[in-house]
A and B are shown apart, each in its own frame.
Chain A
Amino acid sequence: MWREWKTEWMKVRYRKIGLIVMAFFGLIILWVCWILSRNDTEMMEDGYQLLFMNLPLIDTILMPTMIAMLGSRLCDAEVKGDTLKLLCTMEKKGRLFDMKVLTGAVYLAVFVVLQVVQIFLTGRLYGFPGTAKPVWYVYFVLQVYTVSMLILLLQTVLSFFYENQILPLAAGLFGSFVGLFSWFFPSGHPLKYLFLWAYYSELCFMGQDWDRVTRISTFYDVPFQFPVLGLVLMLLLAGYLVGKQLFLRKEI
């Protein structure tokens, strides 16, 4: 297993995946700075809440396309190079799928950890009063990481199945749209359960009231939706099993 893991990292060497992921992270930093520059000092009182509300929204727009790129890039060596038949004679077919998903999972983990560090440092640099509740960080990681992993599984399967990478990438763009759309629906709306990308908004643990007259936003805690998290984890497990099965059955 260690050998396959190492091979996977050798395959992505020089592919600059990390650079693109970092470019997305750089854009998130810029976006957050822009949001903070538009808010007055009163809003900074709720600075952490503002971040925990806005970062998942930004992730909903960016991550589906970024994950589509990640999935496509990870599978490029096999799809573009037509090396599946060669590889599957040397390593177990299922193991190859596992390694792809695991490699993607590492990139996503780094991306989410960087965002956590970003929240912490932004709070310090902008001088937000008080500290963020530690549990918010945990909820944030659960919210962003589990849903992103679910999307990664879908994208990996799509990238393996379609030699023409238009469909996986279009699915990523479609996901960004649908995810963004889902933020307009109230929590618990049936449509939110239909699309994977909508779970970012469904797992949001921060609410916002905007007063039209005073133009002041007030943030409030929303109980974290553990049943929804349970559903996401179940979908993750089912998605992994189905995806792997599909990959095992794939004619090469």
Chain B
Amino acid sequence: MLLTCVRMEHKKLRHSHLWLVFLVIPLIPTIMGTGNYLQNLGLLKSEWYSLWTQCSLFYSNFFYGPLIGLYCAYIWRVEHLNHNWNQLMTMPVPVWEVFLGKLCLALECTVFLQLWVWVLFYAAGKIAGLHGMPPFEILIWLLRGSIGGMGIAALQLLLAMIIRSFAVPIALALLGSIIGFLLSNGGYGLFWPYSLMLMGMNANKDTDMVGDLMGFGISTAVFLLLFAAAGIWYLNKKDITAS
């Protein structure tokens, strides 16, 4: 049933302009980062790693969170419109599967986004004249960023479900990301979901930011379970209002 839910969610996203956002927005930090790298070649000598510090700087600190927020807001938007809530809640499907179906889709979007960022990063490296392939470690960092992003996806889904506006959850994601940036600089990253993604991605660092992989994993799992459980509880307990 869960797989059917995921398939249905896929159908709901058809003909949306989500792909446009997916393709275009990550282009800008890549261009910015590559430009910055080329201007500071005298200082940045670790080749692919240096390019990574520049490309990941703005993308992960400020924009990955709002992009996840945008996906999640869109996933719920279809339910907020045209009385679809009524239909959704009368389907013979347990609500936890409805929520997890949407969560799976959000996670899928974030993983594909990271892979697209890797493709852009590779192209940028080639344009910048770097030899060979990027270190495999960077792909791991990107995917680890998606794992860090899982807690954000669950939280954003919860927010987008409760807040009926499309724009507000995205604005909250930007606020959360910036607080995450400040907290991770202060060493409190493990306690804030929005910091986990930039720690996982090793944003603006060429050495590993996640010293304690166990702590990172536990923190991500706790946030993911907490927000997913809150979302399912909310769907179970609260009366829905269809506009």
Task: Write the residues of chain A forming the contact surface with B, with a CB cutoff of 8 angstroms.
Answer: 15-16, 20, 23-24, 27, 30-31, 34, 61-62, 65-66, 68-69, 72-73, 76, 80-81, 164-170, 173-174, 176-178, 180-181, 184
> Known contacts A31-B178, A72-B166: does B32 contact A180 (CB below 8 Å)?
yes
Q: Which residues of B contact A69 (CB under 8 A)?
A: 167-168, 170-171
> Known contacts A31-B182, A73-B165, A177-B58: does B171 contact A65 (CB below 8 Å)?
yes
Whether, in the assembled complex, B63 has its beta carbon less than 8 Å from a beta carbon of chain A, the answer is: yes
Q: Closest CB-CB distance, B203 to chain A, in whole Å?
A: 15
Q: Which residues of A contact B39 (CB under 8 A)?
A: 184
> Known contacts A66-B171, A181-B28, A184-B35: does B178 contact A169 (CB below 8 Å)?
no
Report yes or no: A176 in contact with B170, Cβ–Cβ below 8 A.
no
Report yes or no: B168 in contact with A20, Cβ–Cβ below 8 A.
yes
**Taking CB as reference atom, which chain A residue is nearest B29?**
A177
Report yes or no: B16 in contact with A177, Cβ–Cβ below 8 A.
no
Interchain CB contact (< 8 A) of B21 among A20, A81, A170:
A170
Q: Which residues of B contact A81 (CB under 8 A)?
A: 243
Most interface-central of A16, A62, A80, A177 (chain B CB within 10 A)? A177
Whether, in the assembled complex, B107 has its beta carbon less than 8 Å from a beta carbon of chain A, the answer is: no
Interchain CB contact (< 8 A) of B25 among A16, A27, A177:
A177
Interchain CB contact (< 8 A) of B24 among A20, A174, A180:
A174
CA distance A61 to B21 in the complex (A): 18
Whether, in the assembled complex, B199 has its beta carbon less than 8 Å from a beta carbon of chain A, the answer is: no
Interchain CB contact (< 8 A) of B17 among A30, A167, A180:
A167
Q: Which residues of B contact A68 (CB under 8 A)?
A: 167
Stretch at the interface among B66-74, B89-97, B124-132, B215-223: B66-74
Q: Interface residue count for B (Cβ, 8 Å)?
A: 38
**Taking CB as reference atom, which chain A residue is nearest B18?**
A166
Give chain B interface residues in 1-37, CB to chain A under 8 Å. Answer: 16-18, 20-21, 24-25, 28-29, 31-32, 35-36
Report yes or no: A169 in contact with B70, Cβ–Cβ below 8 A.
yes
Report yes or no: A65 in contact with B66, Cβ–Cβ below 8 A.
yes
> Known contacts A69-B168, A166-B74: does B67 contact A173 (CB below 8 Å)?
yes
> Known contacts A61-B62, A177-B63: does B243 contact A24 (CB below 8 Å)?
no
Most interface-central of B58, B74, B168 (chain A CB within 10 A)? B168
Q: Closest CB-CB distance, B61 to chain A, in whole Å?
A: 9
Q: Closest CB-CB distance, B154 to chain A, in whole Å?
A: 21
